[in-house]
A and B are shown apart, each in its own frame.
Chain A
Amino acid sequence: MNKKLEPIVQALQKEFDAQLEEFRDEVHLFIVPERLVAALTVLRDKHHFELLSTLSAVDYWPQENPRFHVIYQLTSVSKNLLLQLRVPVSGTAPVLPTVTGVYQNANWRERELWDMFGIKCEGHPDLRRILMPYDWQGHPLRKDYPLGYEEPQFTFNFDEIDLRKPYAKE
């Protein structure tokens, strides 16, 4: 682990009961959803993590509790450090507090989180779908969502499938 990162990690472990995990010099801290906003505020104001590089999630379906890990990839521009917060979220009621108050660019990233994974961010100012059409059903990046293939039409079932196809007809 980076020498400059050690005191920050220790402080977070003590203050927020964070669990540490390391892989190839990358630091992942597991934290509970209730303390997420407080931890990010401390990281931004006290430890100079000015930039939220990315925010996304991983779906571990069929595991239900926790089903998702939500990832907050933080960058400290002034100290040149990287840190990843991971927040386990249950699959039965995937709800998180919004972090748009701490990092403004979480706005679109949280909309993407809702769109792709169906994880709701409570208190978000504008929680709509962002990439998929607004009337889309389901959340595509979930593991139980099929990739989706077109049904092959043969001569014997051409008309039957054609009736179900969603393109404009006369």
Chain B
Amino acid sequence: MPELQEVTVDDLKHLVSDRAIKGETMLLNMGPQHPSTHGVLRLLLELDGEIVLNCIPDVGYLHTGVEKNMEAKTYQKAEVMTDRLDYMNNMGNNLSYVMAVEKLVDLDVPPRAQALRVILTELQRIASHLVWLGTSALDLAAMSMFLYCFREREDILDIFELVSGQRMMTTYFRPGGVWRDVPVEFEAAVRNFIKIFPKRIDEYEALLTKNPLFMDRTLGIGKLSGEDALQYGATGPILRASGVNWDLRKNRPYTGYEQYDFEIPVRTEGDVYARYLVRVEEMRQALRIVEQALDKLPMGPVRSDNRKFVPPPRSEIGVSMEALIHHFKLWTEGFPAPKASIYSAVESPRGELGVYLEGDGGPKPYRVHWRTPSFDNMQVMPIMVKGLLVADLVAVIGSVDIVLGDIDR
């Protein structure tokens, strides 16, 4: 076993100022175990008293080698790893991956499956924003928000359990459709959520939007211009709060988003408060999409009947030799994909979630690369926090809405 090396001050000299080396300013570790870094994130702060002069994020504590692992699994089996990337956006990760596979092998998806995908990813967006709202308000000492938000998130996770049997690691979307049709209770559960949730958003807004303490902590904090956001690769609500109207659901519609009527909230202030307003409005818009998709939910199959890629239903296996052969081939060998590469991106609650997928003619992906939004959103954070107080840094981390599983992959 090789000897462990120690990191010396020399290794970090190029990152901090001369004053830190001389001992005039203080270098302080925040994390990796810290309640308001939302996971195992380590920030190296250079402080002059309470003022943050420099912030150097250190990521990788949650690296699980998903990209490498996926290369060793067939296309179907690799999907279960996608849930574990961004654990607040399981349905969205499934969607980006199955869309990439479908694009690579050129597979059609029936309309009912498309509509179900939209409903569930939008519910997931709401659930993800609820976790963000609860935890970032908790960082600003609004304890009750956390309890309210998790109460509503529970309803959404119950719906996920209803359709997939799992609350979080759903793997419900499959290449060519969804795992199976939703149960009869599904519609009533979603309708019930649509009925109660607008009032609940009003409650959250009553607690925070005009709350002077909340506004004190967020207005004008963590400013970011639209040009900087693009230059540093920030996407999602951060980009839209900085005045750039860019949402893949509108700009490059996928999975039938063009059929639904919804608006993209954009603010120009680019501070923590603007990001809060954008996300709260996004929850309302997501609910509108869910309602429209549920109203228009077409009947019909939920999986493609292309048996070369999609396993046959259980009922056919007992009576059809063909079906048995397909079932056997698909679950032992998998399906082959062409020797080519594609890039497919969806709008996750945090921004552009892209998959670069390359096949080599065999049943396993040759290379999978995840363009995860938090990775780039995290890079932009240091320029937002320069000159702020340490307490404001906590507000900014909350507003970036990072998920460490998404950064480290």
Contacts and interface: CB of A to CB of B under 8 A. Distances in A.
Given A24-B106, A80-B251, A132 B354 contact: no
Interface string A50-79: 111110101100000000000101010100
Contacts of A155: none
Contacts of A54: 343, 354, 356, 369, 371
Contacts of B375: 108-109
A136 to B, nearest CB: 9
A130 interface: yes
Contacts of A56: 356, 369
A137 interface: yes
Contact of B59 (A51, A71, A73, A130): A130
11 contacts: A24-B342, A52-B233, A104-B233, A104-B379, A105-B231, A108-B375, A134-B7, A135-B4, A135-B5, A140-B65, A145-B68
A45 interface: no
A23 B342 contact: yes
Contacts, number: 98
Contacts of B379: 104-105, 107-108
A118 B68 CA distance: 15
Which 6 A-B pairs rank lowest in CB-CB distance, beginning with the nearest? A105-B233, A54-B371, A131-B60, A56-B369, A131-B63, A135-B5
A16 interface: no
Contacts of B11: 128
B213 interface: no
A131 B408 contact: yes
Contact of A51 (B104, B233, B409): B233
A139 to B, nearest CB: 11
Contacts of A130: 59-60
Contacts of B60: 129-133
A87 B404 CA distance: 30
The SS class assigned to the A binding surface is loop
Interface residues of B, number: 48
Contacts of A75: 352
Nearest to B11: A128
Interface in B248-265: 251-252
B2 interface: yes
Nearest to A116: B67
B232 interface: yes
A111 B358 CA distance: 22
A58 B233 contact: no
B325 interface: no
A126 B15 contact: yes
Given A53-B345, A54-B371, A131-B60, 18 more contacts: A24-B104, A51-B235, A53-B371, A56-B356, A73-B371, A80-B252, A103-B231, A104-B231, A104-B379, A105-B233, A105-B379, A105-B380, A107-B379, A108-B375, A126-B14, A130-B60, A131-B63, A132-B63
A75 B354 CA distance: 12
Given A53-B345, A105-B379, A108-B379, A131 B59 contact: yes
Interface in A2-53: 23-24, 26, 28, 50-53
B341 interface: yes
A53 B4 CA distance: 35
Contacts of B14: 125-126
B7 to A, nearest CB: 6
A82 interface: yes
A126 B345 CA distance: 29
B326 interface: no
A159 B379 CA distance: 46
Interface string B119-135: 00000000000000000
A79 B233 CA distance: 17
